């Protein structure tokens, strides 16, 4: 504004800008504007998706204003940035979450209504970006929310898979996988950055040479080059101006055509090169907790890590910094070993491309990386055969050998002559065929190593990473997982949110420990009544959804007993089914027996190549078919398998749960985060002492948690003395009856072979000790039923569960990472008005 402006001009400038204003009228006008000028439609011909897109762009404009202020503040202050490297980000739908974090949910609802539309319908229109398998990818998403909400400078780096996790359909009780075409109607949340591209080399060989100063150097001659292009999605924090970015890489060919091939007339061959290059970011591997030893998977990992590190180096140098201080400006966290190749890649970039000497580069690398381990399952520990690794990344193999040579020299100083120990610590597995061990690379290349729950970290130190713990104990710490209360309470459970806020205000949303204040109301009968009413409403909503999706009618007054998570033998969905059949037998023996009505709800995807997991899905659906149709049951038991479990469905399921099934074999679930989402929404947990269940029980009190099963040490001891499942089968008539009933073919239309592999696994091996835990589980479920009969007391326990969940906010987890691993501080972002003019453009 200048002195020459007259009052009318000044008044005109003060009218809200259509792209940033937050009043209902401005939002309504922006919505109409975007429908015309972005979608090119007018209301009479617009589809629901057009309206959704127009709304999404309306919201995105508000995010971008905050993002620009954020980026400018980061550059100006040369801040230290957390780089969260993850092959998966299971973000869930963006629209409603952004409305909550912007604080404009009600304004938008009114603006949408005034436009003759329904906000809930538009929210449902969004196809969720399913760029993850389960807990690990969802953790990355919760952490992005908390990083922004805590005003920590951060970039999430990953892969923009064209096809995310498959959509699951159930056909005749079996899982069918449908390609996830999440991009087909457009993605309004991302910004394509064609100018932000990096070349990534693959294959070929290396050559050594002496440079003009007489230094020994190596160059890598690849046989293929792929280009990574950035797509940025703004991630706004809750009630702050911080908008960090999620930067996902898409693979392209460096040139659209291979001109040489084109010129010799091989048009198809030329185009094919482009197609092959784009394969790298084509599809997410749908395996949870199981490695996929495919070359393409290694290429995916290297591709996104190389793009990300090159990008970090460019940012650092563009800001005028020297690479010697790289670790002072970046903390890179490895979300499991998927990005662990980053250790060798940063060394290659520093040594080969930027000519920093090895020792200096190694110091920078170790200070930059932290490593989070996510699993104790041996089948999930990544290793790559030397042949595959060397032919894909020949220079990295040399670098890893050199890292290993220097590391093992140190090991030998500490443990001279301990050949076995040296072999276990080596980055190369030489027990048979030779492999590169990615966890070992991550441990050696990081200054910090953490597990994701207290028990998990202890077990890491005692088992898979024991030698590393003994060699460098100072690197180890625990960072118990958390989940964001913005998505998992405020967004998914608005009824509970307003009840809580009516009693204690809304400070708990970003200070979750404040939920403790709810304990003051536990003895308030009126409050308990309201609490029960809200649970009943969420159960009715889910019951309606179940009927719509599966046709099964469930009773909202019955106990909602829910197990939703990836299908895996260690998670023991089939133990849950053994309980259902036990209750079914009880009814068949005495149709008039007193029984607490229950609705058993399952959901979860099986890896397409995991036969047992797929058979478990068929098993659940087969038992459901028989139980639901049996007149003797009189609707007292219902079994439902909800297809296509994902974040969107989770938002409907967790709020409606009364009993949360967390029944993995002790010692195998690293943390779990579903357990936290359930408990935050007032479900009580039936669970083993596994993962974060241990800490949940500690927080809520043992009297408010249904514990069963062997502890980890007892599992180890049982296996050590020789576990024989037949002993349990032969000595427990109730268990025998359940197993025999399955074997009889009653759940498989007389086919006694269908579930034979499942039964054989249980009777002959039972690696996850279902039979050993069976009776303890059944007894515990009986205690659950007894407790449910006293609704008032159940409600007390439910309130206490929620009140004591403060620890499990991802804000707490992120604060611990910031202080103990990343050494980063919050940066308060002021909203800059007229940022366009400050950027040197005339408005
Ligand atoms: C939270 C969540 C998970 C993880 O659940 P666990 O019970 O911890 O295994 C998996 N998938 C989705 C969609 C989730 O929201």
CA 481 to ligand 1 center in whole angstroms:
12
Residue 2 pLDDT level (bands cut at 50, 70, 90):
very low
Q: Which of 622, 633, 539 is nearest to 574 (CA)?
A: 622
User: Which region among 281-295, 427-441, 748-762 has the lowest average model confidence (pLDDT)?
Assistant: 281-295
Predicted TM-score (pTM) of the model is 0.97
Q: How far apart are CA 163 and CA 363, in angstroms?
A: 38
CA 58 to ligand 1 center in whole angstroms:
30
* pLDDT tens-digit readout, 754-763: 999 999 999 9
Q: How far apart are CA 816 and CA 533, in angstroms?
A: 37
* Protein residue with least CA distance to atom 6, ligand 1: 674
3-state secondary structure of 192: strand
Q: Average pLDDT of 571-576?
A: 98
The percent of residues above 90 in pLDDT, for the chain, comes to: 92
Q: Which residues of 507-544 are buried (b: 16+ CB within 10 A; e: fewer)?
A: ebbbebbbbeebeebbeeeebbebbbebbeebbeebbe
Residue 125 pLDDT level (bands cut at 50, 70, 90):
very high
* pLDDT tens-digit readout, 330-356: 999 999 999 999 999 999 999 999 999
Residue 149 backbone phi and psi in degrees, to 5:
-65, -30
Q: Can you read off the two tokens belonging to residue 96? A: 């409603």
CA 175 to ligand 1 center in whole angstroms:
18
Q: How far apart are CA 511 and CA 489, in angstroms?
A: 13
* Protein residue with least CA distance to atom 10, ligand 1: 134
Q: How many CA atoms lie within 13 A of 439 on its CB side?
A: 27
pLDDT at 821: 98
Cβ-contact 799, 521 below 8 angstroms: yes
DSSP string, 24-75: HHHHHHHHHHHHHHTS---GGG--HHHHHHHHHHHHHHHHHHHHHHHHHHHH
Cα→Cα distances 403→232, 290, 359, 535, Å: 34, 27, 10, 56
Whether pLDDT at 832 is above 90: no
Cα→Cα distances 266→128, 718, 801, Å: 40, 65, 67
DSSP string, 807-837: GGBHHHHHHHHIIIII-----PPPPPTTHHH
Cβ-contact 99, 72 below 8 angstroms: no
Given the CA of residue 671, which atom of ligand 1 is nearest to it? 8
Q: How far apart are CA 232 and CA 247, in angstroms?
A: 5
Residue 834 pLDDT level (bands cut at 50, 70, 90):
low
Residue 843 pLDDT level (bands cut at 50, 70, 90):
very low
Whether pLDDT at 257 is above 80: no
The position carrying tokens 């985060």 is 673
The position carrying tokens 């003994």 is 470
Given the CA of residue 646, which atom of ligand 1 is nearest to it? 13
3-state secondary structure of 331: strand
Known catalytic residues are 374, 565-566, 571, 673, 677
* pLDDT tens-digit readout, 479-518: 999 999 999 999 999 999 999 999 999 999 999 999 999 9
DSSP string, 385-425: EHHHHHHH-HHHHHHHHHHHHHHHHHHHHHSTT-HHHHHHH
Give the list of residues 6+ apart from residue 290 with CB closer than 8 angstroms, or none: 377, 379, 380, 607, 610
* Mutational test site, ligand 1, from 137, 138, 483, 652, max ligand atoms within 8 Å of CB: 138
Whether pLDDT at 594 is above 80: yes
CA 429 to ligand 1 center in whole angstroms:
33
Q: How far apart are CA 49 and CA 26, in angstroms?
A: 21
Q: How far apart are CA 581 and CA 738, in angstroms?
A: 6
Q: Say what angle helices 573-589 and 611-629 make with each other, to 10 degrees.
A: 20
Residues in the chain: 843
* Protein residue with least CA distance to atom 1, ligand 1: 674
| CA 148 and chain centroid, separation | 17
Cβ-contact 206, 219 below 8 angstroms: yes
Whether pLDDT at 655 is above 70: yes
* Protein residue with least CA distance to atom 15, ligand 1: 647
The percent of residues above 70 in pLDDT, for the chain, comes to: 96
Residue 273 pLDDT level (bands cut at 50, 70, 90):
confident
Task: Fill in the DSSP letter of residue 763.
Answer: I
Q: How far apart are CA 720 and CA 461, in angstroms?
A: 20
CA 564 to ligand 1 center in whole angstroms:
7
Q: How far apart are CA 550 and CA 543, in angstroms?
A: 10
Whether pLDDT at 228 is above 70: yes
* pLDDT tens-digit readout, 126-156: 999 999 999 999 999 999 999 999 999 999 9
Give the list of residues 6+ apart from residue 734 with CB closer than 8 angstroms, or none: 582, 585, 775, 778
Q: Can you read off the two tokens belonging to residue 72? A: 């400018």
Q: Average pLDDT of 378-396?
A: 95
Cβ-contact 200, 226 below 8 angstroms: yes
Cβ-contact 595, 634 below 8 angstroms: no
Given the CA of residue 645, which atom of ligand 1 is nearest to it? 13
Q: What is the dihedral of CA 493, 496, 499, 505, to 10 degrees?
A: -70
* Mutational test site, ligand 1, from 135, 288, 683, max ligand atoms within 8 Å of CB: 135
Residue 833 pLDDT level (bands cut at 50, 70, 90):
confident
Q: Average pLDDT of 657-664?
A: 98
Q: Which of 391, 371, 388, 378 is nearest to 223 (CA)?
A: 391
Vertex 235, ends 233 and 238: CA angle to 5°?
A: 160
Q: Average pLDDT of 676-705?
A: 98
* Protein residue with least CA distance to atom 8, ligand 1: 672
Domains of the chain: 80-92+128-158+168-478 (3.40.50.2000), 485-712+770-805 (3.40.50.2000)
Q: Which of 615, 798, 610, 801 is nearest to 700 (CA)?
A: 801
Greatest C-alpha distance within the chain? 96
Q: How far apart are CA 811 and CA 467, in angstroms?
A: 32
Q: How far apart are CA 468 and CA 444, in angstroms?
A: 8
CA 674 to ligand 1 center in whole angstroms:
5
List beta partners, residue 334. Answer: 85, 371
Whether pLDDT at 260 is above 70: no
| CA 98 and chain centroid, separation | 18
* Protein residue with least CA distance to atom 4, ligand 1: 135
Q: Which of 742, 775, 784 is nearest to 759 (CA)?
A: 742
Q: Where are the alpha helices (DSSP H) in 667-707?
A: 674-680, 693-700
pLDDT at 244: 98
Cβ-contact 619, 148 below 8 angstroms: no
* Torsional sign, CA 490, 496, 498, 499: negative
CA 526 to ligand 1 center in whole angstroms:
33
Give the list of residues 6+ apart from residue 127 with CB closer than 8 angstroms, or none: 93, 182, 185
Q: How far apart are CA 84 and CA 68, in angstroms?
A: 20
Whether pLDDT at 715 is above 70: yes
HEC profile of 210-245: ECCCCCEEEEEECCEEEEEEEEEEEEECCCCCCEEE
pLDDT at 738: 98
Q: Average pLDDT of 768-776?
A: 98
Q: How far apart are CA 250 and CA 160, in angstroms?
A: 5
Q: What is the mean pLDDT of the chain?
A: 95
pLDDT at 841: 54
Give the list of residues 6+ apart from residue 362 with CB closer than 8 angstroms, or none: 347, 403, 406
Given the CA of residue 647, which atom of ligand 1 is nearest to it? 13
Residue 271 pLDDT level (bands cut at 50, 70, 90):
confident
Q: Name every protein residue with a CB atom under 6 angstroms from any ligand 1 atom.
A: 134-135, 138, 565, 646-647, 650, 672-674, 677
């Amino acid at each position: 504004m200048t002195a020459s402006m007259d009052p009318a001009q000044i008044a005109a400038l003060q009218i809200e800008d259509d792209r940033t204003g937050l009043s209902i009228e401005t939002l309504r006008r922006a919505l109409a504007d975007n429908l015309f000028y972005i979608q090119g439609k007018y209301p009479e011909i617009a589809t629901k998706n057009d309206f959704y897109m127009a709304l999404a762009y309306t919201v995105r404009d508000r995010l971008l204003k905050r993002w620009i202020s954020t980026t400018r503040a980061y550059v100006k202050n040369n801040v230290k940035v957390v780089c969260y490297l993850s092959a998966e980000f299971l973000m869930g739908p963006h629209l409603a979450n952004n409305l909550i974090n912007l604080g404009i949910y009600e304004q938008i609802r009114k603006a949408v209504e005034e436009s003759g539309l329904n906000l809930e319908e538009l929210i449902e229109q969004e196809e969720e970006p399913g760029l993850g398998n389960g807990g690990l990818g969802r953790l990355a998403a919760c952490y992005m929310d908390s990083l922004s909400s805590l005003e920590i400078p951060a970039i999430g780096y990953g892969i923009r898979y064209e096809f995310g996790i498959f959509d699951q359909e159930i056909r005749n009780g079996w899982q069918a996988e449908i390609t996830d075409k999440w991009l087909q109607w457009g993605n309004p949340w991302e910004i394509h950055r064609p100018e932000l591209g990096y070349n990534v080399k693959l294959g070929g060989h290396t050559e050594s040479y002496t440079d003009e100063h007489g230094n020994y150097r190596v160059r890598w001659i690849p046989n293929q080059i792929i280009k990574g292009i950035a797509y940025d999605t703004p991630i706004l924090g809750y009630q702050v101006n911080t908008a960090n970015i999620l930067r996902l890489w898409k693979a392209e060919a460096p040139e659209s055509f291979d001109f040489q091939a084109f010129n010799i007339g091989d048009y198809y061959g030329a185009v094919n090169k482009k197609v092959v290059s784009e394969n790298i970011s084509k599809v997410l591997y749908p395996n949870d907790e199981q490695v996929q030893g495919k070359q393409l998977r290694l290429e995916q990992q290297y591709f996104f890590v190389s793009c990300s590190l090159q990008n970090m180096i460019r940012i650092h140098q563009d800001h005028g910094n020297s690479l010697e201080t790289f670790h002072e400006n970046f903390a890179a966290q490895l979300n499991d070993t998927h990005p662990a190749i980053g250790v060798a890649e940063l060394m290659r970039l520093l040594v080969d491309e930027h000519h920093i000497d090895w020792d200096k580069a190694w110091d920078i690398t170790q200070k930059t990386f932290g490593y989070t381990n996510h699993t104790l399952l041996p089948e999930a520990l990544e290793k790559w055969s030397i042949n595959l690794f060397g032919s894909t990344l020949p220079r990295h193999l040399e670098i890893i050998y050199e890292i290993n040579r220097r590391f093992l020299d140190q090991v030998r100083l500490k443990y001279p002559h301990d050949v076995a120990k040296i072999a276990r610590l080596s980055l190369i597995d030489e027990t048979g065929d030779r492999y590169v061990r990615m966890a070992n690379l991550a441990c050696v290349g990081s200054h910090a190593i953490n597990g994701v729950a207290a028990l998990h970290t202890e077990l890491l130190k005692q088992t898979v990473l024991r030698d590393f713990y003994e060699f460098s104990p100072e690197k180890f710490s625990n960072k118990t997982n958390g989940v964001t209360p913005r998505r998992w309470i405020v967004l998914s459970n608005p009824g509970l949110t307003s009840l809580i806020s009516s009693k204690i205000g809304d400070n708990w949303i970003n200070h979750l420990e404040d939920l403790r204040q709810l304990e003051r109301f536990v003895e308030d009968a009126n409050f308990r009544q309201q609490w029960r009413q809200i649970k009943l409403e969420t159960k009715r909503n889910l019951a309606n959804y179940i009927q719509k999706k599966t046709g099964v009618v469930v009773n909202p007054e019955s106990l909602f007993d829910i197990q939703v998570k990836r299908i895996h033998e260690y998670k023991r969905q089939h133990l849950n089914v053994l309980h259902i059949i036990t209750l079914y037998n009880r009814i068949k023996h005495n149709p008039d027996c007193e029984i607490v009505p229950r609705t058993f709800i399952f959901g979860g995807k099986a890896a397409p190549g995991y036969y047992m997991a797929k058979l478990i899905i068929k098993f659940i659906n087969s038992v459901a078919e028989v139980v639901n149709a049996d007149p003797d049951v009189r609707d007292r038991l219902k079994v439902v398998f909800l297809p296509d479990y994902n974040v969107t469905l989770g938002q409907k399921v967790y709020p409606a749960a009364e009993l949360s099934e967390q029944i993995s074999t002790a010692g195998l679930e690293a943390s779990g985060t579903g357990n936290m989402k359930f408990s935050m929404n007032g479900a009580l947990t039936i669970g083993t002492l596994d993962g974060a269940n241990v800490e949940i029980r500690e927080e809520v009190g043992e009297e408010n948690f249904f514990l069963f099963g062997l502890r980890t040490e007892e599992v180890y001891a049982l296996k050590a003395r020789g576990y024989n499942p037949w002993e349990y089968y032969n000595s427990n008539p109730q268990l025998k009856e359940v197993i025999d009933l399955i074997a009889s073919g009653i759940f498989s239309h007389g086919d006694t072979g269908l579930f034979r592999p499942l039964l054989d696994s249980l009777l002959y091996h039972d690696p996850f000790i279902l039979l050993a835990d069976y009776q303890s589980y059944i007894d515990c479920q009986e205690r659950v039923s007894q407790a449910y009969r006293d609704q008032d007391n159940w409600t007390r326990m439910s309130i206490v569960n929620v009140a004591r969940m403060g620890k499990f906010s991802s804000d707490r987890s992120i604060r611990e990472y910031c202080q103990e691993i990343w050494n980063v501080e919050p940066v308060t972002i002021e909203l800059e008005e007229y940022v366009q003019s400050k950027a040197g453009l005339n408005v």
